[in-house]
A and B are shown apart, each in its own frame.
Chain A
Amino acid sequence: MDETLALLARLPEAKILAGGQSLLPMMNLGLAHPGAVVDVNGLPGLETVTEDGGGLRLGALVRHRTLETSPLIRRRCPVLAEAASLIGNIRVRHRGTLGGSLAHADPAAELPLVAVALGATLEIRRLGGSREVSAAEFFRGYLLTDLAPGEMLTGVRIPASPPATGYGLAELVRRAGDFAIVAACAVITTDGAGACRHASLAIGGVGPHPLVMRRAEALLAGGPLTDRRLAEAADAVPGEVAPESDVHATAAYRRAMARVMASRALAQARARAAPGPGRPA
């Protein structure tokens, strides 16, 4: 690890090669001509999945395929497993990594969205130091993260979810496996009696990075999880997003779909947050 970090410090123009599912296409297309590539695939300890309190700690090199199939992840954090299953195709998932997807920071990608919605913490290391940053602060802009030259993402911590927590994930894709046009991830914790203790809602594909829907979250917190309340929260979403038009969809459509996907994600989250002890998100 130290050798790797030393290399990254010495060669700031070097590209990190993890899954290669974003870097290699750019090289094949002539869009990237890295002077050096640092292959981190052999680094020990970066592919582990461990319990961390009631939550999870995932190494940055955990493959999408592992996220999709690991029994521990499916139990502790099923939204992560579901999000991973929607990525690309099976071949991409065998190589692509959690850290790679987060570092690449495509605004329509599933893992950045879920990381933000879950309030994940990212572990970053450089030669001679390390730091942590919240997922929401990690994503800065279109394909832009908080990573500085010489730094490398090494792990992701997912907090424990309280009992009576449910999640929802809804995305609008043209074909299965494509990047989403719009995607929504919701996490709702109830008090066990139908009221909302905490709600988290993030939308992807409507801005340069996943956006947290603070107004919607505020509308839900502390109140009853009625259909009407959920609808009000979803209705608050279009006002909080700033999508752009592109060849795949217009801004108006993305805005409208943000509401629909939010509504579906919230409904799923509510349904999964069954009353009773110890049921994880």
Chain B
Amino acid sequence: MQLSLYEWVFIITDIFGTYTVYKFMTVFFETRDTHRKVELLSYIGYFLVISVIYLSVNIPIVLMIANIITLIGLTYNYQSTFKKRVLAVVFMYLIFMSVEIIVGLITGYFNFPLFSQNNYSSIFGLISFRIISYVLVLVFNNFANIKRGEKVPNSYWLSIFLIPATSLYVILLLFQAKGLSISQVIASVILFFAVNFAAFQLYDAIAAAISEKMESRLVMEQNKYYNRQLELMKASLETTKAIRHDLKNHMASISTLVKSNEKEQTLQYISNILEHFATERNYASSGNIIVDSIINFKFQEAEQRGIKTTLDLNIPENLGVSSIDMTIILGNLLDNAIEASSKVEENPYINVKLKYDKGRLFLQVANPYAGELIEKSGKFITTKADKDNHGIGLESVKKVIQKYSGTMSVDYDDNIFSVVILMYLN
């Protein structure tokens, strides 16, 4: 097959176009889910498929469908939800198409028979299309909130989705319509583009608002823990004061006992005091304020619900994990543990172990559970009535752990549910 100059230019600029698509993906998606090599291969595959279809078939509607399908395929390189993938692709395609149409119409060769072979060719138009798309991507890259990707509620998603989807349809209709002048069509496409740009901006704002809401909820939760910690510290200060006050009295008593050679009674007296100290310490006091606060708060809750708690804390005062992240991880895991353990009739307990070791943080939470446990796409659901509640937190826990290149492993043998988390703290 002999390729014309135009077709060569198409292939070469399509490499650049594929890179533009990649940049566009980074507007929407933050974390890669596949290996770097797989990602690269998938983009090469995208480039090949589009080039081959263009060179062999070259019917706009076929190209459009192929583009949308392959673009959705490409989004699977990244972690996201299906809703967001569809939205991203529709937006992306709409933007590319608008630019292509505007450039095509302005360079004055446009002829758009939707269902038959397309043979307009302007090297100048092609190159400007690629460059303009790339510049646009750079502009869109300023919207930082979209990729953070807090979950947008369905109703919002539908409203946002309707705008580019409808635009796409109407733009296609414009070309079937007779009696419209080129300038009218250009004006309509530009206006559609403006409307979609505005929608995109709104989407960004909504994502920002949602993540702000999440954050303030977490801060409120933290305040709750801190308040409880403050109470505990106050109480412990009171106890110390009382002990100091009593110390004189205790010493006087001991000295009287020793003077009268009452060995047994002296020992009894001392062990009473020691016991008093020993019972005081069933709470976290590692000096790491956020960890102590969360554990003390949750353990109090657990004990009020009749759950026995054990704790093994081997962490330094300063861990290098932000308090928000710690709240998400520990708060969610302990909530789940309390929830599951409280449904166990016999001997409910929660074991918590935190250990800093050789640059890593290990967190283990173990508790018994009742009933069956169902694993559903990485979430755990008990067969009990609390389906909505259980396992929700684990998603956000996973997200935080990823920030620390860490991992979470879940085990549920013999009716004991245990989670181990590893995070690298460097």
| Chain B binds chain A | no
Interface residues of B, Cβ cutoff 8 Å to A: none
Interface residues of A, Cβ cutoff 8 Å to B: none
